[in-house]
Each structure stands twice: as structure tokens, then as C-alpha cells.
Amino acid sequence: MAAPPRECRAIVAETRTLTPEILEVDLRMEDPPALTFTAGQWISVPFGPKIVRAYSIASTPATPSTITLSADVAPGGVGSTWFRRLAPGADVVFKGPLGGFIFDRADPRRPLFVAEEIGIVPIRSILLDFDHTGFERPATLVYWARDPSWLVYDADFTSLARRVCDFSYRPIIGTPLADAVAAATPSVEGLVTYVAGGARTIYATREVLMARGLERKSVKWEKFYD
């Protein structure tokens, strides 16, 4: 059961530039001293009346005293500007954990994860949590990007696929995502799908799988942009 959201305060412990447009930040929890969350959830940062931005947690529940956020700062809006300016020692106030894009451990179906670029963040948390707690069934990741620089966590999944026989990793560059999803799913029997990315990616993935017989409710999604 997911923990209820609450107001939180943390301090920036470290920042990293993954690419010129994708940044990572480690937040050391202060109040509470540890954030109880479920892999796949996010936090909400306020920027004024009715202005908030959501950031998925890239780290796993195994390290609740420090959480990692990863963001695409290319849009250049209020959230991007704030994220770029974060520096060690800065205070961060947020609400969390939030969101229902989480894997149901009681679900016996094999999961297919589909991520578009920065949409990989919550899926990274889920898969690294699998690695920590154990893969209970075969899982596949289709990770799409416009070019290799946007596959920011490629090394994590390449390593995971080498170590875990029940995990299949399919990085896709440029090729239509729908084609890659179709190739990864010769059968939808016993399948549940988790999709994170833009609205078009979610729609295209759902349509491909439903055309093969998957029920609409068997496609879970997290939309990052329209």
C-alpha cells in the first residue's frame, strides 16, 4: 500500500549533468528524515499559487534517506529554470509521494515496460527495485529515443539484462516505437503494460497492443507531456 503524501523538506546533496538537457539531483531528506514511497511515484514542487511541477523519483525505496530526481530541462519553463539552478546545500520543499504508476506485486502477469526518453525515470525506479528485491517473473523494457544521447540510463539496463536472465532490454533509436512494441510482444496473453512518455507514445502503444487483443485496462500509463 502506497504511503500517504505529506509536506517534506530536503537539502540538495549533489547535482549531475547527464546530458546538456537532462540533469540529476540527489536530495537528502530532512523532514521527514526518510521518504517512504513506492517505486514509480513522484513528488510535487510548488512555484507559486496554483503552479506546481511534478518530478518522478529515479532512485528506489531502498535508499529512502536520499532520493534522486531526473529531469529534462529543455522546455526552459519555471520548473526547468529552477532545476538548472539547484546547487548543493539548497533547500527544497515538496509534497510526496504521489502517483499510482506503480507495479502491483500481486499481479501474476508479465510486465512490458515502454519508455520514451525522460519517461524512463519512474520505470528505472521500478526495474532497479526489481533488481534489489528480486524479479518474480519475466519483464521486458522497450526504451525509445530520438538519438543515443537521450538513452540516459542505457548502461543501467544493459548491465541488468546481462545479469538477470528474466529481463529483456530493447533500446530503440529513431525507429517507430509502435513497430518496436509489436516486435517485443509476439503474444499479449498474460501481459500487463506500463507506458511512460508523451501522449502520442501512450496512445500508439495502447493501440498496437489492443489491436492484438490486450484489454485497454491492462495498459497503465504516466504522461510526461502532450
Instruction: In whole angstroms, give the CA distance from residue 1 to residue 35.
Output: 14
Whether residue 88 is found in the same domain as residue 125 = no
Query: Could you report the per-residue pLDDT of 19-30, keeping only the tens digit for each?
Result: 999 999 999 999
Residue 50: is it exposed, middle or buried by C-beta count within 10 angstroms (0-12/13-18/19+)? exposed
pLDDT of residue 1: 60
Instruction: Give the total number of structural domains in the chain.
Output: 2
Last residue of one domain, picked from the residues 98, 121, 153: 98
Residue 148 placed within a domain: yes
Q: How far is CA 141 from CA 42, 138, 166, 169, in A?
A: 20, 10, 11, 5
Burial of 139 (0-12, 13-18, 19+ CB in 10 A): buried
**pLDDT at position 48, please?**
82
Query: Does residue 87 form part of some domain?
Result: yes
pLDDT digits (tens, 9 = 90+) for 178-189: 889 999 998 999
Q: What is the CATH number of the domain that holds 161?
A: 3.40.50.80
Q: Which residues of the chain have pLDDT under 50?
A: none
**Domain closes at, from 46, 78, 98:** 98
Domain that holds residue 93: 6-98
- Pair 90, 131 in one domain: no
Last residue of a domain, one of 98, 132, 149: 98
